[in-house]
Chain A
């Protein structure tokens, strides 16, 4: 076994690898850029080597620097994590040339699977179902149209080297192909330096299901069941689970065996994932097709670990060290259900715009996952596991992936795992930047998610107008009202213990009127109990003034609530939404009926910068007439170009910013008449 390994990655996955290595008694070396000098993975590792400035292209992506770090520290092997150099054959080759072991698959397999077109040919040859499509080079738009017509619409055009949602375009008819083909080519060239494009049939009710592969250098290859990752936003996975609610035992076996055959065909070892697209419209479960193979550890590997009890990182290290797998296919079982939510630094309330910056507050629901060696230890604490690489006071940098943490829950059943997610998300405190906690909580509670009727279009279909928070049930509102009354009484009681009073402190008010989403509740907090609208509520709350999070047991239900004060009540965040909870003594609430409802000013006249970023382009000038939906400006943030469009038709009255300017959030870019 290795004595020392280097992790050529950062963030949560570097922490993840270090944990297992540490348990195995292997020393670890971290490499870090300027931006990560204070990051947890650097602190956790036994040694750390600085490898350059923040941009990945000048640090994490430079193989020579990684190899130099290995030599400097005497690391015998490199775990690449995911992303960065994990699927670069040149890196694996360079390591091999230096006699450093690559903790991953053989170079040949990476190369074979790295090309979307080549990999498909291989898959087909190995007997794996492939999506009907054109495998080969497409000459021009006319050729693309001919191919598309043959396959039948809808078709998907993809840049050959693409990934992560870039360089993909859907065409419903010939016109779409004519319009889109060139731009896919261009995106491929710009983003990946490769303008080859392929076209394939677009699958109906598509589900994204993938098979985890694990092999050793002795020819043993197993499939560790499937994961379903259908819930994606713009081709970015958001929710992953194992097993899949769609997959039957028979289907699992069929998929698993095909994927093992493919792996065998490329001489695979280590961990890998074969991504399949499955038509949910075919109840037989036979419509699954090869999509691609990822020759690395996946972000979502923890759900597999939870249900199989297998530590994938440990297996990768053992395989790299030449050990034989100790298990056989028969040993691979499914125990319970695991769900992973990716907590991203993006704001669902503002169109999922990326949001980077300082984590002013960061309190995960349980301490970061510790590898304790027990098989079920991979299920975290009471079924809640947090894989993260950030800390309160740290930064979510614009230079890297906007993922803040992975929240994994394990339960005996799918519902149990989803319920655990909701509770854990309620307790997950992140402040300082926008995040998607409320959004993923909404998904976890969504009836369609619970039914298991997923497709990759889930988010687009269920949230066509964007996300405004999970609607609160009447039951939840009553419970929040009771909590608000209790907290208000506690706060008033404390306020009445101030020094300098005329007489003994008075009793705090116990009659509250709580208003949530225009519904008013009469809450009485009395010594012998609490009532809401006259009905007794069984309430136990742990709260002292200043708490930002409280746990309440209301009528037998445990609710975690993030709470902040407003001038007339609270902002309570729970169950996937921010609730404005006004709470006034009833005698005051009676008077507040006279307060006028104010309509917020109409901001649609203004084009407002939705995030801090660079104004790359401004398409209009003063006096221009614009149509609704017309692109007005482009703001770059997190290396993503965001097109800002006119909310309505009108004439540009004034322009307040110039291209090339760095803009703050909410800066007014232009005003319409």
Chain B
């Protein structure tokens, strides 16, 4: 008996050493934690339960049969984050450079299958050199199996990818199909082809960091939702983030107790919209003052900052936020901001997270750059996403709601449940000046000025829209939190279903 136990212990300890002390030291020297250390930070203390510790690869080519390391480069299992179940995999760069073999992939597939059956989120910690080249097509098959599961899990359980080292070639497509990607600055990168191939093919000289580092992906490409300073910070951020997510698409968003009164008044919001319509203000302040305890977990803060997305809580329960940001490009909708917000709206809708929309939008961005790059289809994504969403939708128009962008931003016509406007709201087809130039083309300056004034008086307010029932109520900014909290309470039992379909055909 004791001999058996000793054998188990021996095998366990051997497996836990991964690729050995030298490689662990090398990993540390790069400022990176090992696969198991990362799970220790991510999960509640002592909660990790490992599966497939003894799995090894079956490759017999290129001398691989003699190189066997139990676990085969990925640590898989389950654990809890603040007591809630999560399935995890963590690639072990110390074992064959974290490369993905067929067995490695099978381990990932196994926990994903379990997560799907029980309805628990999956967090993948990626740190892998790519496919196990020695295995050839078997490794590729492994990738594809994972991809298939990412797709089936999409919209069923939340999937979060942490990129904590290299992630190149085929490997990028699994994270790409998960809901969120967090990257670690300076030590992680993602690209389909690396700098060497880029150089050979296009003669372009580029560093890994520039081509696909955390900064690149969180500013230019939007591949990454958040860039964090280091492993510890990234994993702690993932813990915080996880607390916003429901476990699966059949459950409501989680509730965490909060001492923040639902009816807290914020008198300073009464003055946040400047008297001059051309003067910006920081929408973050509005969010900060409305959400529980001022906590807002922003995603993609450095990409398309003209729209703000992220999670907060009202009365302890998760809400998704979409807000135009007047500080950046006057809050205009363009290709990037439409795509950014659209995908977020769809995540919230898939996972029963109510959507709060704060609107101050002068319209869609004009210009050849936007038109030629397809603003029509990209803008339609956001429209589509809002229109199909059946979760509770509350909209607050703080200032401008112009033109097509008014329709898009969770308007009453797109089944908005509660559409509020601040007294500063202006709901019109366009700004007064532009409108008058069309309606009164050819008038003299004086006539134009008078007409502009007339148009402003008519539409630079929320009351025309309210008189048609497009706005449910014009509210005091200072009481917005109370309005939203009460609205969410009442919408908890909302029932709304779209017609049966195999799936929709969103303009991709």
> Are A502 and B271 neighbours in the complex by a CB distance under 8 Å?
no
A361 to B267, CA, bound (A): 11
Q: How large is the interface on B (under 10, 10 to 19, 20 to 34, 35 or more residues)?
A: 35 or more
> Which A residue's beta carbon lies closest to that of B235?
A588
Rounded to whole Å, the gap between the CB of B278 and the closest CB of chain A is 12
Q: Using A567-B228, A594-B32 as known contacts, say yes or no to A503 and B83 having CB atoms under 8 A apart.
A: yes
Q: Quick one: CB contact mask for B278-309 with A, threshold 8 Å, 1 for yes? A: 00011001000000111100000000000000
> Are A393 and B272 neighbours in the complex by a CB distance under 8 Å?
yes
Question: A603 contacts the other chain (Cβ, under 8 Å)?
Answer: no
A596 to B233, CA, bound (A): 12
Rounded to whole Å, the gap between the CB of B19 and the closest CB of chain A is 16
> Are A545 and B259 neighbours in the complex by a CB distance under 8 Å?
yes
Question: B473 contacts the other chain (Cβ, under 8 Å)?
Answer: no
> Which A residue's beta carbon lies closest to that of B266?
A393
> Are B243 and A495 neighbours in the complex by a CB distance under 8 Å?
yes
> Are B83 and A496 neighbours in the complex by a CB distance under 8 Å?
yes
Q: Quick one: CB contact mask for B144-186 with A, threshold 8 Å, 1 for yes? A: 0000000000000000000000000000000000000000011
> Are A545 and B254 neighbours in the complex by a CB distance under 8 Å?
no
> Are A498 and B83 neighbours in the complex by a CB distance under 8 Å?
yes
> Are B233 and A568 neighbours in the complex by a CB distance under 8 Å?
yes
Q: How large is the interface on A (under 10, 10 to 19, 20 to 34, 35 or more residues)?
A: 35 or more
A568 to B232, CA, bound (A): 8
Question: B50 contacts the other chain (Cβ, under 8 Å)?
Answer: no
Q: Using A360-B268, A498-B84 as known contacts, say yes or no to A598 and B186 having CB atoms under 8 A apart.
A: yes
Question: B479 contacts the other chain (Cβ, under 8 Å)?
Answer: no
> Are B232 and A498 neighbours in the complex by a CB distance under 8 Å?
no
> Are A494 and B33 neighbours in the complex by a CB distance under 8 Å?
no
A500 to B233, CA, bound (A): 25
> Are A567 and B84 neighbours in the complex by a CB distance under 8 Å?
no
Within 8 A of B (CB), among A474-520: 494-503, 505-506, 509
A432 to B285, CA, bound (A): 9
Rounded to whole Å, the gap between the CB of A164 and the closest CB of chain B is 29
Q: Using A393-B272, A545-B293, A546-B258 as known contacts, say yes or no to A501 and B83 having CB atoms under 8 A apart.
A: yes
> Which A residue's beta carbon lies closest to that of B240?
A567
Q: Using A500-B84, A567-B228 as known contacts, say yes or no to A594 and B28 having CB atoms under 8 A apart.
A: yes
> Are B232 and A500 neighbours in the complex by a CB distance under 8 Å?
no
In the complex, chain A residues whose CB is within 8 Å of the CB of B230? 592, 595-596, 598
A395 to B275, CA, bound (A): 12
Question: B135 contacts the other chain (Cβ, under 8 Å)?
Answer: no
Q: Quick one: CB contact mask for B13-49 with A, threshold 8 Å, 1 for yes? A: 0000000000000001011110001001100110000
Question: A354 contacts the other chain (Cβ, under 8 Å)?
Answer: no
A494 to B82, CA, bound (A): 10
A496 to B84, CA, bound (A): 9
Q: Using A495-B82, A498-B256, A501-B84 as known contacts, say yes or no to A509 and B45 having CB atoms under 8 A apart.
A: yes
Q: Using A497-B257, A591-B40, A596-B31 as known contacts, say yes or no to A546 and B232 having CB atoms under 8 A apart.
A: no
> Which B residue's beta carbon lies closest to that of A34?
B275
> Are A393 and B267 neighbours in the complex by a CB distance under 8 Å?
yes
Q: Quick one: CB contact mask for A384-417 with B, threshold 8 Å, 1 for yes? A: 0000000111110000000000000000000000
> Which B residue's beta carbon lies closest to that of A501?
B83
In the complex, chain B residues whose CB is within 8 Å of the CB of A495? 82, 243, 256
A499 to B317, CA, bound (A): 10
Rounded to whole Å, the gap between the CB of A405 and the closest CB of chain B is 16
Rounded to whole Å, the gap between the CB of B286 and the closest CB of chain A is 10
- Chain A at the B interface: mostly helix, strand, loop or mixed? loop
> Which B residue's beta carbon lies closest to that of A569?
B236
> Are B80 and A501 neighbours in the complex by a CB distance under 8 Å?
yes
Question: A454 contacts the other chain (Cβ, under 8 Å)?
Answer: no
> Are B271 and A498 neighbours in the complex by a CB distance under 8 Å?
no
A502 to B31, CA, bound (A): 33
Q: Using A500-B251, A501-B80, A501-B82 as known contacts, say yes or no to A591 and B44 having CB atoms under 8 A apart.
A: no
> Are B254 and A594 neighbours in the complex by a CB distance under 8 Å?
no
A568 to B230, CA, bound (A): 11
Question: B329 contacts the other chain (Cβ, under 8 Å)?
Answer: no
A399 to B281, CA, bound (A): 19
Q: Which of A393, A501, A509, A591 contacts B232 (CB 8 A)?
A: A591
In the complex, chain B residues whose CB is within 8 Å of the CB of A503? 83
Question: A544 contacts the other chain (Cβ, under 8 Å)?
Answer: yes
Rounded to whole Å, the gap between the CB of A666 and the closest CB of chain B is 13
Question: B255 contacts the other chain (Cβ, under 8 Å)?
Answer: yes
> Are A494 and B257 neighbours in the complex by a CB distance under 8 Å?
yes
A584 to B186, CA, bound (A): 22
Q: Using A495-B256, A497-B257, A545-B258 as known contacts, say yes or no to A506 and B83 having CB atoms under 8 A apart.
A: yes
A592 to B40, CA, bound (A): 12
Question: B435 contacts the other chain (Cβ, under 8 Å)?
Answer: no
- Residue of B40, B80, B232, B270 with most partner-chain A CB within 10 A: B232
Question: A94 contacts the other chain (Cβ, under 8 Å)?
Answer: no
In the complex, chain A residues whose CB is within 8 Å of the CB of B247? 500
Question: B465 contacts the other chain (Cβ, under 8 Å)?
Answer: no
Question: B85 contacts the other chain (Cβ, under 8 Å)?
Answer: yes
Question: B229 contacts the other chain (Cβ, under 8 Å)?
Answer: yes
> Are B229 and A598 neighbours in the complex by a CB distance under 8 Å?
yes
Q: Using A587-B40, A595-B231 as known contacts, say yes or no to A500 and B254 having CB atoms under 8 A apart.
A: yes
Question: B237 contacts the other chain (Cβ, under 8 Å)?
Answer: yes
Question: B260 contacts the other chain (Cβ, under 8 Å)?
Answer: yes
A360 to B32, CA, bound (A): 39
Question: A217 contacts the other chain (Cβ, under 8 Å)?
Answer: no
In the complex, chain A residues whose CB is within 8 Å of the CB of B491? none
In the complex, chain A residues whose CB is within 8 Å of the CB of B141? none
A462 to B313, CA, bound (A): 47
Question: A548 contacts the other chain (Cβ, under 8 Å)?
Answer: yes
A505 to B243, CA, bound (A): 14
Q: Using A498-B83, A498-B84, A594-B28 as known contacts, say yes or no to A567 and B259 having CB atoms under 8 A apart.
A: no
Q: Using A393-B270, A588-B41 as known contacts, say yes or no to A594 and B31 having CB atoms under 8 A apart.
A: yes
In the complex, chain A residues whose CB is within 8 Å of the CB of B414? none
A504 to B188, CA, bound (A): 37
> Are A548 and B294 neighbours in the complex by a CB distance under 8 Å?
yes
In the complex, chain B residues whose CB is within 8 Å of the CB of A509? 45
> Are A506 and B259 neighbours in the complex by a CB distance under 8 Å?
no
In the complex, chain A residues whose CB is within 8 Å of the CB of B40? 587-588, 591
In the complex, chain A residues whose CB is within 8 Å of the CB of B31? 594-596
Question: A358 contacts the other chain (Cβ, under 8 Å)?
Answer: yes
Within 8 A of B (CB), among A557-616: 565, 567-568, 584-585, 587-588, 591-592, 594-596, 598
Question: A38 contacts the other chain (Cβ, under 8 Å)?
Answer: yes
> Are A358 and B45 neighbours in the complex by a CB distance under 8 Å?
no
Given contacts A358-B272, A545-B293, A598-B186, 7 further A-B contacts (CB under 8 A): A360-B282, A494-B257, A503-B83, A584-B232, A584-B236, A588-B236, A596-B31
Pick the 7 closest A-B CB pairs, nearest first.
A393-B268, A546-B293, A501-B83, A596-B31, A393-B271, A595-B230, A594-B28
List 26 contacting pairs A-B, 8 Å CB cutoff, sorted by A.
A360-B285, A391-B268, A392-B267, A392-B268, A393-B269, A393-B270, A495-B256, A497-B256, A498-B82, A499-B256, A500-B84, A500-B254, A501-B82, A501-B84, A502-B80, A506-B83, A509-B45, A545-B259, A567-B236, A567-B237, A588-B236, A594-B28, A594-B31, A595-B229, A595-B232, A598-B229
- Contacts from B to A (Cβ < 8 Å): 28, 30-33, 37, 40-41, 44-45, 80, 82-85, 185-186, 228-233, 236-237, 240, 243, 246-247, 251, 254-260, 267-272, 281-282, 285, 292-295
